Chains A and B, each alone.
Chain A
């Protein structure tokens, strides 16, 4: 089993993500520069956090139109697992692998802090190691994290169980104070139409070791490995 972590100019969570996948979870993992090609050798592709292309035009807007992301779109269509974290989530939204857009926070400042999330879907390849409704702690670090769904699609996204995580308070309630960026319906992470793509603003690689205050993020990478082990 082998994961790929894609690097663009401006990506800055690539090494942390590979560390969490390879050194913490024990999964083989390569860093892949965006000018290279993925081919068929990877079981999962991760688009990590950072500021690809300096967030020029729109966050993720330019990276989403590179040949390697076109390749990611093709691999996703074949059922490969694709995880986008923070800037990676913005790229997945810009590429159309998940609907909607992550845009400037309702209060327009960069937020970097621990964050509680309620797990909404435990059937996806990314979330089988969680319990339904469980409250987990995975930090956020973004300026453009406010999720906006395409007009009229929010209801369908919810009905199809494509919301993976919502921002919540310690008891799992969706109070206004627990929504850090003004995302529609507190959406912190959502799945693509086939269920094999997850775009999430929180950073699981920053919550994969006890030393960092939470190991909840690790369960996303391990869920992916479980799923690949059963389905390859």
Chain B
């Protein structure tokens, strides 16, 4: 059956994120002071899998092989 899976890829803790810093500064410029701001990228993917565990394994493989770069990223997988 088809499973919908939500994959979230973000920078590892401590990695410099110049874009997040720029956005944080822009928020401050219009009156929103922020303690921290993190950016993540979310993929919602639908595909055929044997069961929920199989769907999760496939999503993990997608992350390991292309969606995330292990040097700088962490990822989470959520079968919906």
Q: How far is the CA of A195 from the CA of B63 in the complex (A)?
A: 29
Task: Tell me which residues across on chain B come within 8 A of A101, comparing CB atoms.
Answer: 69, 71-72
B interface size (C-beta, 8 A):
12
- Of B14-22, B28-36, B46-54, which stretch is located at the interface? B14-22
Task: Tell me which residues across on chain B come within 8 A of A108, comparing CB atoms.
Answer: 18-19, 22
- Interface size band for A: 20 to 34
Q: How far does the Cβ of A135 sit from chain B's closest Cβ, in whole Å? A: 27
Which partner residue on chain A sits nearest B69 by CB separation? Answer: A101
- B66 touches A (CB below 8 Å): yes
Assess the B71–A65 pair: CB atoms within 8 A.
no
Assess the B18–A106 pair: CB atoms within 8 A.
yes
State the B residues within 8 Å of A (CB).
Answer: 15-16, 18-19, 22, 65-67, 69-72
Q: Which of A94, A151, A182 contacts B16 (CB 8 A)?
A: A182
A101-B69, A148-B72, A150-B70 given; name 16 further pairs at CB < 8 Å. A61-B66, A61-B69, A94-B69, A100-B71, A101-B71, A101-B72, A105-B18, A106-B18, A107-B18, A108-B22, A146-B16, A148-B71, A149-B71, A150-B71, A151-B71, A182-B16
